[in-house]
Amino acid sequence: MNSDKMRLEDLLTNMNRGDEQDRIEKVAIIGAGIMGRGIAQTVAAAGIDVVIVEKNSEYIDSSKEILQTSLEREITRWALTKSEMKSIMNRIVWTLNIDEVKDADIIIEAVEENFQLKRLIFKKLDEIANKEAIFISNTSTLSLTKIADITERKDKIIGMHFHNPVPKVPLVELVRALETSDDTIQKVKAFASKIGKTAVEVYEYPGFVTTRAIVPLLNEAMHILLEGLATAKDIDTAMKLGYNFAMGPLEMADSMGLDEVLAWMEQLWGSLGEPRYRPCPLLRKLVRERKLGKKTGQGFFTYDADGKMIG
Please write the tens of the pLDDT for every residue from 168-216: 999 999 999 999 999 999 999 999 999 999 999 998 888 889 999 999 9
pLDDT band at 8 (very low <50, low <70, confident <90, very high): low
pLDDT band at 10 (very low <50, low <70, confident <90, very high): low
- Residue type at 21 in one-letter notation: Q
- Domain 12-203, CATH: 3.40.50.720
Going from N- to C-terminal start, the domains of the chain cover 12-203, 210-306
Distance (Å, whole) CA 34 – CA 257? 10
Q: What percent of the chain has pLDDT over 90?
A: 81
pLDDT band at 300 (very low <50, low <70, confident <90, very high): very high
| pLDDT at residue 265, rounded to an integer | 95
Distance (Å, whole) CA 308 – CA 37? 20
pLDDT digits (tens, 9 = 90+) for 94-152: 999 999 999 999 999 999 888 899 999 999 999 999 999 999 999 877 888 999 999 99
Q: Is the pLDDT confidence value at 9 over 80?
A: no
Three-state DSSP class for 200?
Answer: strand
- Homologous superfamily assigned to 210-306: N-(1-d-carboxylethyl)-l-norvaline Dehydrogenase; domain 2 (1.10.1040.10)
Residue 45 phi, psi (nearest 5): -65, -20
| DSSP E strand stretches across the chain | 26-30, 49-53, 92-95, 106-109, 134-137, 157-162, 171-176, 198-203, 302-303, 309-310
Mean pLDDT of 228-234: 98
* Sign of the CA dihedral with 167 first, then 280, 298, and 54 last: positive
Q: Is the pLDDT confidence value at 18 over 50?
A: no
Q: At what angle do helices 210-226 and 249-256 cross, to 10 degrees?
A: 120
| pLDDT at residue 3, rounded to an integer | 53
| pLDDT at residue 81, rounded to an integer | 94
Distance (Å, whole) CA 139 – CA 263? 11
19 burial type by CB count under 10 A (0-12 exposed, 13-18 middle, 19+ buried): exposed
- Contact call for residues 291 and 299 (beta carbons, < 8 A): yes
CB atoms within 10 A of CB 199: 17
pLDDT digits (tens, 9 = 90+) for 253-299: 999 999 999 999 999 999 899 999 999 999 999 999 999 999 999 99
| pTM over the 0.75 mark | yes
- Contact call for residues 311 and 297 (beta carbons, < 8 A): no
